[in-house]
Chains A and B, each alone.
Chain A
């Protein structure tokens, strides 16, 4: 449904009208259904979530239940928003849902919106899902030993440039859960591996490295996420373009941690 290149000579309209096919599921209900809404006079400069705000204001003014959805920063950095738009987590924009713009859609388009619902992400209401399973994976990772004395000298721990870049790429994960929603198996492997990767790659993350990978992988399974079958759908849907290479790294790290079974605390060498 994404808009093609504008036709030459055609004046761009200031507003568009859209048909929204939205998933409605009341709190505590097991089954939801689609409802179709017409939303007119949407400024082309509006963002996708602003369009939903306009639709909700209209619904409220007519005494109807607004569509529940989550958002916070609306800058693409917090990971709170997340809607399946036309079958794609976060929609067709390779960005978070909040960064999706109405100008990317044709006037008169029908847009289907659904929650990020999977086995481990139960629906709270309409488009809101409970993603606290991801928080519990983070919690299972425990702590990172940090130097708590005076500020260390800059560059007192030399780290190779490539390693820093890899760690930073992994740390770009905002925990939005698009990878889980995109995965045909509802696996959180990309999320977990990014979190394991960004700490495990840096020297500061070494002391608890093996303990952390074991606990986070086990927590991931306990939360009921599926397993990775290397479809690579997660990578294609990640608004932060995190690579599935971190999943390979997590697998190797987990296997190593299981074989050694040791405790690396006190060992500050990145490998």
Chain B
């Protein structure tokens, strides 16, 4: 334990904590983005996917137990990530170059914006949970249903049909992707995985994942805003009840066919 604390006390130890917690969150947002794409499969597909997340391991752990384990791990990762970064930043401020008009030579925009993008992401997470998990913030376009627990597709449809909500999400996703571009490469450096022979591949890979995340995350709000994917069925339960008889709406059927490929 003493050795662990001594390790955590060094800058490299702290950076390792930032890298590992970052990796946990990186894994989460990749999964989140892929899950979001279920929206293209229609309301039923997305709502069933959401229900499935609650039921992982239900047979031996009970409903939502696995979900809560994942949530605790993620909340722990966010707290450790932020606290450690604040501690590192305090040291860095004390050691910052005095005077010297700095001319940035090598830093990428993503690298210099890490603190800005990170803070915005933190604020965004709170807003995002308040909006879609707890329903405390219920902004929806006129003529759409308000927040309803479990009706994922209907909830996001209502919100993303407000143009500035969709725009806010796209802007925040730009922050996320800038953050994870530098973060993923930086993590490889912190873990000592980087080498000149691999640097291009790691940088390129980090950029490719960041761009794919941006496209994946933005596709759903933009598709909903532009009506590229249709509104939810009037009554979600009724639609589910109709499903076995094959009398789904055309839009849902098309979407599902596309997704199954």
Interface residues of A (CB under 8 A from B): 23, 32, 84, 86-88, 112, 114-120, 123, 180-187, 217-218, 220-221, 224-233, 235-237, 243-245, 247-255, 258, 261
Contacts and interface: CB of A to CB of B under 8 A. Distances in A.
A229 B114 contact: yes
Contacts of B188: 248
Contacts of A228: 11, 15, 189
Contact of B99 (A32, A247, A250): A32
A114 B11 contact: no
B101 interface: yes
Interface of B: 3, 6-7, 9-16, 88, 91-92, 94-107, 111-112, 114, 182, 185-186, 188-196, 199
Contacts of B114: 229
B189 A243 contact: no
Contacts of A180: 97
B191 A252 contact: yes
Contacts, number: 150
Contacts of A225: 11, 95
A117 B185 CA distance: 29
Given A88-B105, A248-B194, A253-B192, A261 B3 contact: yes
A184 B107 contact: yes
Contacts of A116: 97
Contact of B105 (A233, A244, A248): A233
A181 B97 contact: yes
Which of B16, B92, B193 has the most chain A CB within a 10 Å cutoff?
B92
9 contacts: A116-B97, A218-B10, A224-B91, A226-B95, A227-B88, A229-B111, A230-B189, A243-B196, A252-B192
A235 B196 CA distance: 13
Nearest to B102: A87
Contacts of A88: 103, 105
Nearest to B11: A227
B99 A251 contact: no
B107 A231 contact: yes
B186 A230 contact: yes
Contacts of A181: 97, 100
Contacts of B105: 88, 182, 233, 236-237
B243 to A, nearest CB: 50
A217 B182 CA distance: 24
A184 B96 contact: yes
A227 B107 contact: no
A247 B189 CA distance: 7
Contacts of B3: 258, 261
B196 A245 contact: yes
Which of A231, A233, A253 has the most chain B CB within a 10 Å cutoff?
A231
Given A184-B97, A186-B97, A232-B107, 15 more contacts: A23-B99, A87-B101, A114-B100, A116-B97, A181-B100, A187-B92, A227-B11, A227-B92, A229-B114, A236-B105, A245-B194, A248-B189, A248-B191, A251-B190, A261-B3
